[in-house]
Structure 1
């Protein structure tokens, strides 16, 4: 499993495909929106958020969402991050308040693709980052993929069906 981070221009490919066969666009209903504040320690020598911290923001948003979903893991089934793709659109300066929007882009047999957008909380038209991550549910004892938990499939399908 690998992590891929890249910078590019906006594209429809970064938006992903929903389980219902449509496109998870920025106008579609988010699965979850996390509110996060930029911390002073997130800055780099150029006085903007270091690129690695974007992944931390995405992780925090996923965990906040998963806390609202019941039965998303067990001793036989836990998610791992299999891939990530980020397009850095503009630097985030301190201080800033962010919204991290998560959308269900795809539901597979054992994986879920979450499209994401990091935007300014006060001005959602200010896009800092977009892309997607792939989470695979696996059995930690065997390292083999297992089917998505019903709760994850239901949470993702509800939003995907409305896009």
Structure 2
């Protein structure tokens, strides 16, 4: 780096270096990183109506499959919400690896990547139920627990923390 480079340029270069190497970014205070292990696996059947004009599952339906899997998982976690604490989807990332054709039986695997003060990052994979090496998509979502009245983040429910840590 040249000495004539300004401080903002130096910071920008440092931020680019961190973005290129996610392992170099330290987790925020009060967070726990967990080993991605099987948190929940949801079976999903591809429906004829999920197909697009190219005869494969429309990309928007991948989000529906992921939402369905998260809701199935949450149904197994008593105490995941109440009048003061409900999850909202804050971010989603999907890598489309190959098209899903009909008919297909899928498995949506969820794993906990990170527990924060008010959030959980869930990794996900959509795979073929008959050939688990056939990966259709992967990625992650961030769910933040918020007070529905105030719209402000609240502490992650202990039930979610316990379920995620039990799977690690």
- Structure 1 length-normalised TM: 0.83
Alpha carbons 2:41, 2:107 under 8 Å: kept: yes
Deviation of residue 20 (structure 1)? 5.8
Unaligned ranges ≥5, structure 2: 1-20
* Pick aligned residue for 1:121 from 123, 129, 135: 129
* Equivalent residue number for residue 9 of structure 1: none
Deviation of residue 153 (structure 1)? 0.6
* Pick aligned residue for 1:36 from 33, 44, 50: 44
Deviation of residue 21 (structure 1)? 4.2
* Pick aligned residue for 1:93 from 94, 97, 101: 101
* Pick aligned residue for 2:74 from 59, 66, 76: 66
List 4+ stretches of structure 1 deviating above 2 A.
18-24
* Equivalent residue number for residue 143 of structure 1: 151
Rounded to whole Å, the distance in 1 between the matches of 2:46 and 2:34 is 33
Deviation of residue 123 (structure 1)? 0.3
* Pick aligned residue for 1:102 from 85, 110, 132: 110
Unaligned ranges ≥5, structure 1: 1-11
The structure-2 alpha-carbon separation of the partners of 1:22 and 1:77, relative to structure 1 and needing over 3 Å to count, comes to: closer
Higher relative contact order (CA 8 A, sep 6+): 1
Instruction: Please give the residue correspondences for 1:5-84 in structure 2 after superposition, counting only pairs within 5 Å.
Output: 21=33, 23-24=35-36, 29-84=37-92
The DSSP-based 3-state class of the residue aligned with 1:129 is strand
Q: Which has the larger radius of gyration?
A: 2
Rounded to whole Å, the distance in 2 between the matches of 1:84 and 1:20 is 20
User: Does 91-100 or 150-159 show the bigger shift?
Assistant: 150-159
| Richer in helix (by share) | 2
Deviation of residue 23 (structure 1)? 4.8
Rounded to whole Å, the distance in 2 between the matches of 1:68 and 1:115 is 18
Rounded to whole Å, the distance in 1 between the matches of 2:86 and 2:32 is 25
The DSSP-based 3-state class of the residue aligned with 1:155 is helix
RMSD: 1.9
The structure-2 alpha-carbon separation of the partners of 1:132 and 1:50, relative to structure 1 and needing over 3 Å to count, comes to: same
